[in-house]
Amino acid sequence: MTAAGSGNGFGTTAWWGFSPALDLQATYLDTPTEHLHVSQDGIPELNILLVGSIDGRHILKTMCQAHRWPRRKINFYVLENNLEVLGRQLLFLSLALEPLEKMGLQEKSETFLELMGNTLLRSQTAAYLQEKAGLFVRYVTDPCIQQADLPALDLSALKFKERDQLEAIFRFWKNPDPWAFQMEQLWDLRLRQYLGARYDARRGVCDWDLTMKLHEHGAKVINSREFFRWRNTGVAFEMREASYDVPNKTLASGRLLRHKGEPMPARGYWGDIATGPFITFGLETEETSLLKTVNGLPSKGAQEISLYNVTALFYELSHRSRYDPPTASDKEGEEGSLQGEEDQATLDAANSPPDTEDIRVHFLPLNCLPRLHQKGKYQKLFNLLFFSCSMVHLLKPELCLVSAPKATLVIELANFLPDLRKEQVSEFCSRVTNLARETGFVPVEAPGQEAFSLFQRQDPPEVAEPGL
pLDDT of residue 114: 98
Average pLDDT (48-63) is: 96
Number of domains in the chain: 1
Does 303 reside within a domain?
yes
Average pLDDT (458-468) is: 54
Q: Is a pLDDT exceeding 60 seen at residue 336?
A: no
Round to the nearest angstrom and report the end-to-end CA distance of the chain. Answer: 68
Beta bridge partners of 247: 120
What is d(CA 132, CA 147) in angstroms, rounded to the nearest whole number?
Answer: 15
Sign of CA dihedral 375, 162, 267, 225: positive
Chain segment 389-412, per-residue pLDDT in tens = 999 999 999 999 999 999 999 999
Q: Which of 455, 385, 452 is nearest to 415 (CA)?
A: 452
Does 402 reside within a domain?
no
Q: Is a pLDDT exceeding 60 seen at residue 440?
A: yes
Q: Is a pLDDT exceeding 60 seen at residue 220?
A: yes
Does 73 reside within a domain?
yes
Q: Is a pLDDT exceeding 50 seen at residue 333?
A: no
- Tally of CB atoms within 10 A around 442: 12
What is the b/e burial string over 133-150, where b = at least 16 CB atoms within 10 angstroms of the residue's CB? bebbbebbeeeeebeeeb
Whether the CB-CB separation of 380 and 402 falls below 8 Å is answered with yes
Does 217 reside within a domain?
yes
Reported as a pLDDT band with limits 50, 70 and 90, residue 4 is very low
Q: Is a pLDDT exceeding 70 seen at residue 335?
A: no
Q: Which of 311, 317, 271 is nearest to 59 (CA)?
A: 317
Q: Is a pLDDT exceeding 70 seen at residue 160?
A: yes
What is d(CA 64, CA 47) in angstroms, rounded to the nearest whole number?
Answer: 17
CA 243 to chain centre: 26
Q: Is a pLDDT exceeding 80 seen at residue 347?
A: no
- The CA-CA-CA angle for residues 196, 202, 207, to 5°, reads 130
Average pLDDT (304-309) is: 97
Q: Is a pLDDT exceeding 60 seen at residue 3?
A: no
Half-sphere CA count of 450, side-chain side, radius 13 A: 13
Reported as a pLDDT band with limits 50, 70 and 90, residue 292 is very high
Q: Is a pLDDT exceeding 60 seen at residue 348?
A: no
- Tally of CB atoms within 10 A around 434: 11
Average pLDDT (414-438) is: 94
Which of helix, strand or coil describes residue 464?
coil
- Residue 211 has φ and ψ, to the nearest 5°, of -80, -35
pLDDT of residue 328: 52
Reported as a pLDDT band with limits 50, 70 and 90, residue 38 is confident
Does 372 reside within a domain?
no
Residue 447: C-alpha distances to residues 342, 413, 450 (Å): 38, 15, 8
Average pLDDT (74-78) is: 97
pLDDT of residue 339: 46
**Which stretches of 292-334 are DSSP H helices?**
302-319, 328-331
User: What angle, 0 to 180 degrees and rounded to 10, lies between the N-to-C axes of helices 160-174 and 123-141?
Assistant: 160
Reported as a pLDDT band with limits 50, 70 and 90, residue 460 is low
pLDDT of residue 32: 54
Does 332 reside within a domain?
yes
87 or 261, which is more confident?
Answer: 87
What is d(CA 380, CA 133) in angstroms, rounded to the nearest whole number?
Answer: 36
What is d(CA 345, CA 25) in angstroms, rounded to the nearest whole number?
Answer: 28
Tallying the residues shown for the chain, one arrives at 468
**Which stretches of 218-334 are DSSP H helices?**
224-233, 279-282, 302-319, 328-331
Q: Which of 227, 231, 15 is nearest to 117 (CA)?
A: 15
What percentage of the chain carries pLDDT values higher than 90? 75
- For 193, the domain range is 24-350
User: What angle, 0 to 180 degrees and rounded to 10, lies between the N-to-C axes of helices 83-96 and 57-64?
Assistant: 20
Whether the CB-CB separation of 299 and 316 falls below 8 Å is answered with no
Whether the CB-CB separation of 46 and 28 falls below 8 Å is answered with yes
What is d(CA 439, CA 401) in angstroms, rounded to the nearest whole number?
Answer: 10
Minimum mean pLDDT among 45-54, 134-143, 338-347: which range?
Answer: 338-347
Radius of gyration of the chain (CA): 23
Does 391 reside within a domain?
no
Whether the CB-CB separation of 88 and 313 falls below 8 Å is answered with no
- The CA-CA-CA angle for residues 116, 120, 122, to 5°, reads 95
Q: Is a pLDDT exceeding 90 seen at residue 30?
A: no
Q: Which helix (H) or strand (E) holds 262?
A: strand 262-268
The per-residue pLDDT of the chain, averaged, comes to 88
Chain segment 165-209, per-residue pLDDT in tens = 999 999 999 999 888 899 999 999 999 999 999 999 999 999 999
